[in-house]
Copies of this chain bind each other. A is one copy, B any other.
């Protein structure tokens, strides 16, 4: 009110690490990992390309920060489950859903070994593995098995999503194509791949993912 003049739509608020990360996530969700360029990002933020470097170190830093923002959200919310086993299932399912909603997360996650986003997941699952009563010297292997399985699935999902989007196919169409390709492999060399080609066409990724978690949990128990 005191201000005599305001631009009709304030074009931007002060740039900040948070606003940059937020814009990056939007960009990553809509255009994939390759879509996160400094020119697209600076346009999105109505600023110069170089300005971004005042707040972040480099592109990789930005990618990890964006990934960590998703993971912090995903792992942050409280879990209300009766048993450690159910809690682990819940956490794993959340991870699946997060990587499904943001396919680039899976791809980034597999390259940030030992860094913050991974530690968050590791910690959360680790506490439950401990609560499960797994002896101390077996906890590392148990948690690693669950975590690496999640990362593997995440990477694959990211690859599927990227491959499908490059070809302009939706997910179902894409899986259908892969399934067809597998069913046409040489019968003497690829009998197993052929035999499960049909399953790939009809299966529910999410259900199979959780079945895999259950399988590993059974292995942990024994």
The interface of chain A, by Cβ under 8 A from chain B, is: 107, 110-114, 119, 122-123, 126-127, 130, 136, 139-145, 147-153, 155-160, 162-163, 178, 181-182, 185, 189-193, 195-196, 199-200, 203, 208, 211-212, 215-222
Contacts and interface: CB of A to CB of B under 8 A. Distances in A.
Q: What number of copies of this chain does the assembly contain? A: 2
A43 to B, nearest CB: 27
B182 A140 contact: no
Q: What's the dominant secondary structure at chain A's contact region?
A: helix
Given A148-B212, A192-B122, A163 B113 contact: yes
A222 to B, nearest CB: 5
A57 to B, nearest CB: 13
Given A113-B159, A217-B219, 6 more contacts: A107-B110, A110-B110, A113-B160, A126-B195, A141-B215, A145-B216
A215 B219 contact: yes
